[in-house]
């Protein structure tokens, strides 16, 4: 029987700094399944109870402490700890004095399989100081009225890299080698998005048959090779739209599409916006 009740008490003295305010950078946050994230400085009376929460949660503790319980145990969430709360597992925590944390919510079926699926886990002696620093920098940059999208994307990628290091389970030497080769391929595509890439050409780069390559990509990325290619091309399109004044004709040729119409159709399907609207919104000052 679930004894955890829904609670959400946030005293006025608490301060929360949301990294995901406004548009989530597609190239680093959304591809990892990130839904919301932030840095919180919490005070006495802060209380959260989640009997059936729909996201996974990764919670890094930097200072202070909170009391914690689930259906089977009680304890404290202390500095240097990383707590992993899978979706739909009941839990509750409350702050009695002061607690400083950095937290990341991931979609239940997050594409990188960061979090455990059936039980809450705690990992001690985690050094996440760099993650906190990059998160602070990202938040500060997001507040600038003249903020550069390239700076936000760069900081988001650094945050993503640190999440990879801190959250992903260790892999075998063979899997690490395969992932490194895949990473090199994605980097090559990212620098040459206009090349006429096909699944056959990508498989040849890894010295694998097409069926083998499809299985590897599906296992490592949870998407198909063609979807990954589209993802990389859309990310480069976004970068070109926000950092250059190139026409859509020029951009479509640069990222491997035969016409502006073809690029626009795919771009709107992937982002929900036309390239013209995306460029206009990205260049508009925001407060």
Which CATH number covers residue 206?
Answer: 1.10.10.60
Q: Is the full-model pTM beyond 0.95?
A: no
User: Do 102 and 34 fall within a single domain?
Assistant: yes
Residue where one domain finishes, among candidates 167, 192, 213: 167
> Are both 218 and 266 inside the same structural domain?
yes
> What is the Cβ-side half-sphere exposure of residue 30, based on CA atoms within 13 angstroms?
13
The answer to whether residue 2 sits within a structural domain is no
Q: What is the pLDDT of residue 33?
A: 82
Rounded Cα gap, residues 240 and 190, in angstroms: 12
Tell me how far apart the alpha carbons of residues 266 and 248 are, in angstroms, rounded to a whole number.
13
* C-beta neighbour count of 112 within 10 angstroms: 18
- Which of 101, 136, 167 terminates a domain? The answer is 167
Q: Are residues 138 and 29 in the same domain?
A: yes
Range of the domain at 247: 173-283
- 1 found inside a domain: no
pLDDT of residue 213: 95
Q: Write out pLDDT tens, residues 151-163.
A: 888 888 899 888 8
Residues in the chain predicted with pLDDT less than 50, given as ranges, are 1, 285-287
Domains held by the chain: number: 2
Q: Is residue 163 domain-shared with residue 62, that is, in the same domain? A: yes
**Assigned domain for 256 exists:** yes
Last residue of a domain, one of 110, 135, 167: 167
- H/E segment holding residue 68: strand 66-69
pLDDT score, position 151 = 81
Residue 31 sits in the same domain as residue 160: yes
- On whether both 111 and 186 belong to a single domain, the answer is no
Predicted local confidence at residue 287, as pLDDT: 37
Neighbours of 232 (CB within 10 A): 21
Query: In the chain, helix, strand, coil percent, each to 5?
Result: 45, 20, 35
Q: Is 115 helix (H, G, I), strand (E, B) or coil?
A: coil
Would you state the pLDDT for residue 13?
Answer: 94
Same domain, 149 and 192: no
Radius of gyration of the chain (CA): 21
Report the pLDDT value the prediction gives residue 218, as an integer from 0 to 100: 86
Q: How far is CA 228 from CA 27, 179, 185, 188, 231, in A?
A: 11, 14, 11, 13, 5
Are 120 and 205 in a shared domain? no
Question: Do 213 and 97 belong to one domain?
Answer: no
Say if residue 234 is in the same domain as residue 108.
no
The tens digit of pLDDT for each residue in 31-48 reads: 788 889 999 999 999 999
| Full strand arrangement of the beta sheet holding 121-123 | 15-18, 34-43, 98-106, 56-64, 82-85, 121-123
pLDDT of residue 8: 94
Q: Is 256 left (phi over 0), alpha (psi -120 to 50) or beta?
A: left
**Between helices 149-167 and 129-143, what is the axis angle to 10°?**
160
> What per-residue confidence (pLDDT) applies to 144?
77
Tell me if 113 is assigned to some domain: yes
């Amino acid at each position: 029987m679930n004894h955890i009740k829904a609670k959400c008490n946030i005293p006025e003295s608490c301060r929360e700094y949301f990294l995901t305010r406004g548009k989530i950078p597609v190239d680093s946050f959304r591809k990892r399944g990130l839904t919301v994230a932030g840095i919180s400085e919490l005070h006495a009376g802060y209380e959260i109870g989640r009997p059936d929460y729909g996201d996974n949660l990764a919670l890094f503790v930097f200072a202070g402490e909170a009391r914690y319980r689930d259906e089977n145990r009680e304890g404290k969430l202390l500095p240097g700890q990383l707590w992993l709360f899978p979706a739909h597992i009941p839990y509750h925590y409350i702050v009695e004095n002061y607690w400083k944390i950095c937290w990341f919510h991931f979609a239940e079926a997050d594409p990188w399989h960061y979090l455990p699926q059936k039980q809450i886990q705690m990992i001690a002696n985690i050094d996440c100081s760099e993650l906190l620093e990059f998160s602070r920098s990202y938040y500060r940059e997001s507040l600038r009225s003249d903020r550069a999208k390239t700076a936000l994307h760069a900081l988001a990628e650094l945050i993503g890299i640190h999440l990879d290091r801190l959250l992903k389970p260790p892999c075998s030497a063979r899997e690490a080698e395969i992932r490194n080769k895949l990473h090199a391929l994605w980097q090559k595509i990212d620098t040459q998005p206009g090349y006429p890439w096909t699944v056959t050409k990508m498989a040849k780069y890894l010295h694998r048959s097409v069926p083998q390559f499809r299985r590897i990509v599906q296992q490592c990325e949870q998407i198909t090779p063609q979807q990954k290619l589209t993802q990389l091309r859309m990310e480069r399109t976004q970068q070109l739209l926000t950092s250059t004044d190139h026409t859509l004709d020029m951009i479509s040729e640069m990222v491997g599409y035969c016409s502006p119409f073809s690029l626009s159709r795919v771009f709107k399907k992937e982002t929900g916006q036309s390239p013209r609207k995306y460029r206009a919104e990205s260049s508009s000052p925001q407060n």
